C-alpha cells in the first residue's frame, strides 16, 4: 500500500508518501481499498502538531485523513456478538462492496482498516469522489445543528465560512431542518455558491465591515451561530445571539497564518490571550450558551454515528442534499492540497486520488 506519513510536526515537507505493508483486518473490521480520500482543515493542524486528539489518541509518526471512499477488499473475522449499532448502510457488507467511511486518522492511504460501524454502503447517487468528502462535513453540520443546537423550524442560523465544505453542508442541513440561514463568505466569488445551497442571505466580508452587514440582514440577531474561526469572530458571534441563543464552536482556523505551512507561535500565543473567556454566571444571566465539539471523538460513539450517517445518506439518496464543488489532486500532491486549503481560497471539498 501507499500512504502519507508525517514523522514529526512541521511544514509541507513533512508530508511523505511511502510504501508500507497492506493492513490486515481484525474481528469486526474491514480493509477498504480507497479510490478517493478527502482533505480537511484538521489534517493541516495534525501536520503542524496542533490537533489535540491526534496527540492524545495516536502520536507521531502519523498518517492524517478522516474520510474515504472505495471498495471493501477484505473482512475480518465476525465478532462473537453482532454489533447492534450497525445501521442499514452498514449491515450485511461484503467484500467487493462500494463504501464510504470515516477513520481516526490513517485516511491518506491506498488502504485503510476500520471497524465496520465506521463504513457505510455508498448510494449510487454519490460518485466516489463526492462520497469521500461526504461524511466529515455533513456529520459536523448535523451534530452541531441537531444534537448540540437542537434547532427548531423557523429559527435563524448564521454560518461562518459558508462556502467551505462544512459551511455548504451546514447551510443545507439547516434548511432541511426548517431554519432561515445567513451565510458568511470571505470573497465575492463565493457568494453565488452559498446562494445555490439555499442560504436566505449571504454576507461577503470582503465587501465591508462584517458585523454591520450582518446586522443589516438580521437586526434581531440569531438563534444559532456556527463558528469555526476562533478569536477573530468569536466574541461578536456570541454578542449577535438572541436570548436564548447558542454559539457552536468547532475550530480555530483564524489563529493560523494562511498558507504559511507552519504555525506562528507569537500569533498563536497572542490570539490565545485574546480569545474570549465566557463567565458561567454571565451565561446564565444572559440566557445564552456556548457549545463546542471535536468530531473525531464522535467516531467511537457507535449509535450516534450511525444515526447521523443514516439520516444524512437518506437525505442524499432523496436528492435533498447537493454535493459541494470538488477539487481533486493525486496523493503525491498532498502538500499542494494542504497549502490550498490553508490559503482559504478553495470552495467545497479537496479530494486526493490514491
- The ranges assigned to domains in the chain are 2-134+297-353, 147-249+251-292
Three-class SS string for the chain? Answer: CEEEEECCCCCHHHEEEEECCCCCCCCCEEEEEEEEEEECHHHHHHHHCCCHHHHHHCCCCECCCCEEEEEEEEECCCCCCCCCCCCCCCCCCCCCCEEEEECCCCCCECEEEEEHHHEEECCCCCCHHHHHCCHHHHHHHHHHHHHHCCCCCCCEEEECCCCEHHHHHHHHHHHHCCCEEEEEECCHHHHHHHHHCCCCEEEEHHHCCHHHHHHHHCCCCEEEEEECCCHHHHHHHHHCEEEEEEEEECCCHHHCCCCCCCCCHHHHHHHHHHCCCCCHHHHHHHCEEEEECCHHHHHHCHHHHHHHHHHHHHHHHCCCCCCCCEEEEEHHHHHHHHHHHHHCCCCEEEEEEC
> Is the per-residue pLDDT at 13 higher than 70?
yes
pLDDT at 80: 63
pLDDT above 70: residue 318? yes
For 18-32, 187-201, 261-275, 300-314, which range has the lowest pLDDT when averaged over its residues? 261-275
What pLDDT is attached to residue 240?
Answer: 97
pLDDT tens sequence across 241-264: 999 999 999 988 777 766 677 777
**pTM, two decimal places:** 0.92
| CATH for the 147-249+251-292 domain, from 3.40.50.720, 3.20.20.80, 3.60.20.10, 3.40.50.150 | 3.40.50.720
Q: What pLDDT shows up at residue 165?
A: 86
User: What pLDDT shows up at residue 331?
Assistant: 97
Average pLDDT over residues 82-111: 91
Between 251 and 85, the more confident residue is 251
pLDDT of amino acid 142: 97
Q: Please give the mean pLDDT across all residues of the chain.
A: 93
Q: What is the mean pLDDT of residues 70-77?
A: 96
Query: For the domain with range 2-134+297-353, which CATH number is right: 2.30.30.40, 3.90.180.10, 3.40.50.300, 3.30.565.10?
Result: 3.90.180.10
Segment 290-295 shows an average pLDDT of 93
Amino acid at each position: 500500500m501507499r500512504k502519507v506519513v508525517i514523522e514529526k510536526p512541521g511544514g509541507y515537507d513533512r508530508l511523505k508518501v511511502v510504501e508500507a505493508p497492506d493492513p490486515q483486518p481484525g474481528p469486526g473490521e474491514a480493509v477498504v481499498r480507497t479510490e478517493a480520500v478527502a482533505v480537511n482543515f484538521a489534517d493541516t493542524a495534525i501536520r503542524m502538531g496542533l490537533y489535540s486528539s491526534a496527540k492524545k489518541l495516536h502520536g507521531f509518526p502519523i498518517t492524517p485523513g478522516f474520510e474515504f471512499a472505495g471498495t471493501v477488499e477484505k473482512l475480518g473475522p465476525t465478532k462473537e456478538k453482532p454489533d447492534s449499532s450497525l445501521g442499514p448502510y452498514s449491515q450485511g457488507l461484503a467484500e467487493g462492496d462500494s463504501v464510504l467511511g470515516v477513520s481516526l486518522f490513517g485516511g491518506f492511504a491506498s488502504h485503510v482498516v476500520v471497524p465496520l460501524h465506521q463504513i457505510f454502503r455508498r448510494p449510487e447517487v454519490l460518485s466516489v469522489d463526492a462520497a469521500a468528502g461526504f461524511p466529515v462535513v455533513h456529520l459536523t453540520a448535523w451534530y452541531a445543528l441537531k444534537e448540540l443546537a437542537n434547532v427548531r423550524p423557523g429559527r435563524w442560523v448564521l454560518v461562518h465560512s459558508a462556502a467551505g465544505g462544512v459551511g455548504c453542508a451546514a447551510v443545507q442541513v439547516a434548511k432541511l431542518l426548517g431554519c432561515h440561514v445567513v451565510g458568511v463568505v470571505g470573497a465575492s466569488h463565493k457568494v453565488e455558491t452559498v446562494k445555490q445551497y439555499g442560504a436566505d442571505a449571504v454576507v461577503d466580508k470582503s465587501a465591508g465591515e462584517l458585523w454591520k452587514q450582518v446586522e443589516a440582514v438580521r437586526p434581531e440577531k440569531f438563534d444559532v451561530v456556527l463558528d469555526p474561526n476562533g478569536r477573530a469572530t468569536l466574541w461578536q458571534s456570541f454578542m449577535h445571539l438572541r436570548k436564548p441563543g447558542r454559539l457552536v464552536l468547532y475550530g480555530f482556523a483564524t489563529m493560523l497564518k494562511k498558507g504559511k505551512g507552519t504555525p506562528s507561535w507569537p500569533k498563536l500565543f497572542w490570539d490565545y490571550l485574546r480569545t474570549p473567556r465566557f463567565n458561567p454566571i454571565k451565561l446564565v444571566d444572559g440566557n445564552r450558551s456556548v457549545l463546542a465539539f471535536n468530531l473525531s471523538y464522535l467516531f467511537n460513539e457507535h449509535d450516534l454515528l450511525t444515526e447521523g450517517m443514516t439520516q444524512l445518506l437518506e437525505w442524499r439518496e432523496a436528492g435533498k442534499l447537493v454535493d459541494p464543488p470538488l477539487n481533486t489532486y493525486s496523493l503525491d500532491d498532498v502538500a499542494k492540497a494542504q497549502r490550498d486549503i490553508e490559503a482559504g481560497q478553495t470552495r467545497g471539498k479537496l479530494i486526493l486520488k490514491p
